């Protein structure tokens, strides 16, 4: 007659037997002749200083930018000018304050530029930012100031692409009635 199998408790011997401490140790780097090198010398050290780069960008970032905005809704490109009136560093962030001109409309802007990742967030603060742009939207980019996308505040807006390049200085429009001076040659 077969006997029924009953579960029985087995003592846990695994917890009682300690594992050797070398079981989880990584091999140490060795130098010439088998000498063990100190671990501190072989560790990589990050030399990038985002706070220092933010201070450098604050001093060297161009204050005037020019380019175009192309909406994704199919309308034509629009001329854009960005002038930065105030550029300051706050840790690894560069704080930008200025104004943007899209087509014929001027709006104040405020933004942050991350010195570590080159990410740009530029908020358009005006109530009428321009054609194909809606109040409450922002330009966001991950390639610095040169390329950004319009992120509207609504899902129904198509968005667009902003392409900027720095200009050396802002060209002042000629005074009314004044003719340009021509060279003799």
Residue 109 CB contacts under 8 Å (≥ 6 apart), including other chains = 82, 96, 97, 98, 99, 100, 122, 123, 124, 125
- Report how far residue 145's alpha carbon sits from residue 41's, in angstroms, rounded to the nearest whole number: 38
Is the per-residue pLDDT at 16 higher than 80? no
Share above pLDDT 90 across residues of the chain, in percent, rounded to a whole number: 37
pLDDT digit string, tens, across residues 131-177: 778 888 889 998 888 889 888 877 777 888 999 999 976 555 655 66
User: What's the confidence (pLDDT) of residue 155?
Assistant: 76
Average pLDDT over residues 176-185: 62
Write the DSSP assignment of 118-149 as a string of letters. --EEEEE-SS---TT--TT-EEEESSTTSEEE
- Report how far residue 93's alpha carbon sits from residue 90's, in angstroms, rounded to the nearest whole number: 5
pLDDT digit string, tens, across residues 60-78: 999 999 999 998 888 889 9
pLDDT range class, residue 7, cuts 50, 70, 90:
low
User: What's the confidence (pLDDT) of residue 19?
Assistant: 54
Residue 124 in contact with residue 133, Cβ under 8 Å?
yes
Model-wide pTM > 0.75: no
Residue 131 CB contacts under 8 Å (≥ 6 apart), including other chains = 71, 75, 78, 102, 103, 105
Residue 96 in contact with residue 69, Cβ under 8 Å?
no
């Amino acid at each position: 007659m077969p006997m029924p199998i009953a579960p029985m408790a087995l003592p846990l011997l695994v917890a009682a037997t300690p594992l050797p401490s070398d079981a989880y140790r990584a091999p140490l780097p060795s130098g010439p002749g088998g000498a063990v090198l100190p671990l501190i010398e072989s560790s990589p050290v990050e030399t990038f200083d985002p706070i220092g780069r933010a201070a450098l960008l604050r001093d060297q970032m161009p204050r005037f930018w020019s380019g175009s905005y192309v909406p994704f809704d199919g309308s034509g490109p629009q001329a854009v000018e960005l002038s930065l009136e105030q550029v300051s560093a706050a840790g690894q962030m560069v704080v930008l304050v200025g104004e943007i001109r899209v087509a014929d409309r001027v709006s104040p802007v405020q933004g942050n530029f991350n010195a570590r990742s080159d990410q740009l967030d530029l908020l358009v603060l005006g109530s009428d930012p321009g054609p194909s742009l809606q109040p409450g939207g922002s330009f966001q980019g991950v390639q610095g100031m040169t390329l950004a996308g319009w992120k509207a505040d609504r899902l129904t807006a198509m968005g667009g692409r902003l392409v900027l390049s720095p200009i050396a200085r802002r060209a002042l429009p000629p005074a009314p009635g004044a003719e340009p001076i021509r060279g003799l040659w």
